[in-house]
Every structure is written in structure tokens, then in C-alpha cells.
Structure 1
Amino acid sequence: MSRRSRQLGEEEKALWALVVRDVAPLRVIMPPSLPPVEVTAPVAGAVPPAGSPVRFARHFSPAIPPPSLPTEPAVRLLLATKLADSIGQRQPGMDDYSWRRFSQGGMRVDSRLDLHGMVAQDAFRRLMEFMDVAWRRGARCVEIITGLGSGEEGGILRRELPVWLERPEIRHRILGTTYPHAGNRGSVRVLLKRRKSK
């Protein structure tokens, strides 16, 4: 089906004239003209003899391969998966007794943060504030609840939490991380380093 071009009414024409009254056309910049090329007679021996096959390349392959496109989302998902696997693993600098006590639920949780149902940006901001306040108050063991989420990889908060905990602003304050229950990965317990008194 073809469309008929609609004609502008008088009011629309007046409005359009008002809109374009201060518009100046773009300047077209012409490239400088190339100098004339001198045609010279061919040099003897430069042209292949008649009857010899001349090869033309059908496909051009560049000498330097183009850079590959970054796979940011895939790399980020791989990083988040690797960091999620490190939760529940004993970190260097933690003694056996403290690790056993922490990982088996023997430490009292000083503070909890429930991120369940939040938008990722709000959850990130709340987490950073929570971790800063908990550390300043001298909390040792805190629990962060993200919820399980849906899908194979779980919700966005559950996937992003390990990445957020690796940020330099808070990573230096964390001694270890673990899941409070082996079958439930919807929350993470974080063991904070003791604050050095000044």
C-alpha cells in the first residue's frame, strides 16, 4: 500500500517558517583538487608479454588483523562466576580455628543487610555504606542477603555481590566470605578484619 504525501496546512506552514527562519545551510567544504596526472609512455619490459596470465586478487587480507571486539558482558560474567566460587574458600591470612568457627556458623552475626528486591544501583550504594559503617563500628561478622533470584545464574544481586566485595574500597577490610547454609546461596557472611586502634 502506498502512502500519499500530505500537504501542510497554512498554520503548519507558518509554524515551519518560524522554526527555520534562523537556520543557515551547512557549508559544503570541497576537498582540494588533485594536480593533473601526467601520462607517460610505458617503459619497455615493464608490461608482461602478451599471452602471459595476469593474476588479480579477489580477496584482500590485511597484514594486521583487526582488533577483536571486547566481550565485556562475557568477561564480567566469567569474573563474577570465578569470584562466586571463591566464597566459602579459606583465604590466606586466616587461621584454621577462626576459619572453622566462621564457616560453620559459630560466629555471632553483628549486623545484617537485606538487599532482596532492590535495584542493582541502590543495592550497591547500600552495600558500600553498610560495609563502611559496620567496619567503623568494629563489627566482625556481617550477613548480606541478596535472595536467590531466578534463572540458572541467579539474580543480578547474587551475581554482582562477589564483584562488589572485590572492589578496592572494601576488599582490604575483608578477611573471608562464606555461605551461611550449604544449600542456600541467597546470602553471604563476611568476616571483617579488626580495626587497628590508633
Structure 2
Amino acid sequence: MTKRSRTRQLSSEEKRLWSHVARHVKPMKGKRLPVEPEPEAKPATAPVPQVVAASPVLPSLPPPVKPALPPLAPVERKTLQALRRGRKEVDSVIDLHGMRQEEAHFALLRFLHRAQGSGYGLVLVITGKGGAAVAGGLFDERGVLRRMVPHWLRLPDLRHVVIGFEEASPQHGGSGALYVRLRRRRGAG
């Protein structure tokens, strides 16, 4: 007794769509692109308006709607004042200075995710201020982390973790550190 597998036949619309997709990829060695299917004749009920499309096969489709990224917000003034006056403490601290850029980036990501998982709302990220560079050297750029950490915090993949950030007050490192507000983890009470 042999078992036959049933395969559903593709509709002409599905064939046209697949042909459109296949034309935009490089075929594997020894393979060729599928043949463009002929459009099926439909019974005429009413005249269909002609749509000029960018592609000869498919009418232009609206771009897929991506969920909007939540905007970054500054740390509240009251929170900053409480931190400066010593009435409020940060929940956790990471010190990145002295690390190489890639190492610091991964350390920051791990730290932020762990802090969010622990329910922390405000953390301190120390980048260091960057010392004076010796002129004339090929790689004499200093303060790389001070510039890069704010850039990393603005990236779309951290928007679900970071609400916003501000330069720290002098007692917490001033321009060499950042206060970072974290979002509550989804599903956390």
C-alpha cells in the first residue's frame, strides 16, 4: 500500500507572485528562473480600471507597516535633581572605560538586558571622558566610548529596553557617564 501525497496546485495569482519573487534572486547553479505564467481570463462583469504599476507582473503593493519605534525621552527633571542632591541612587552601574569598542558594546547590551530583567529603572553607564590624544598618530582618536554609547542607546534594537538617557551629574562622572532609564519588561507587574 503506497501513500500518495496530495499537493495543492498554485493559483495563477500565486504563480505570478512566485515568479516576481524568483526574478529578484540569483538562481542556484544548474537551475533557471520559473517561466512567467499567462494571466487567466476572467469573466467580464464590469470594466476594470487599468493600474500602471512599477512592476509588469504585480501592481505596486503598499509597504508593510512596521510598528513605530517608541521615541526616546529625557530623564525627568525631578529624577535628575534627586540624583544630584543624593536623595536618589541609581539601581546599578557599569564601567566601560578601558574596554575596546566591540567589547564595550556587548558588555553594555548584556548589562542593559540583565538590568531590565531585574526590574531596574535607572542605571549609570560610565564611558570615561577620553584623554588627550598624542598628535600625529594614526589611531590617536580618544573618547570613542563617550561618543559611541549614546549612538548605541539610540539604536532601534535597544528601544524596547531604553526609555531615554542624560549626561550624569558631576558626582556620578559628569560628561564621562550617562544616566539611562529602562523600560519595564513586558509581562512584569
**TM-score where L is the length of structure 2:** 0.49
Instruction: Tell which structure's C-alpha radius of gyration is larger.
Output: 1
- The TM-score, its normalising length taken from structure 1, stands at 0.47
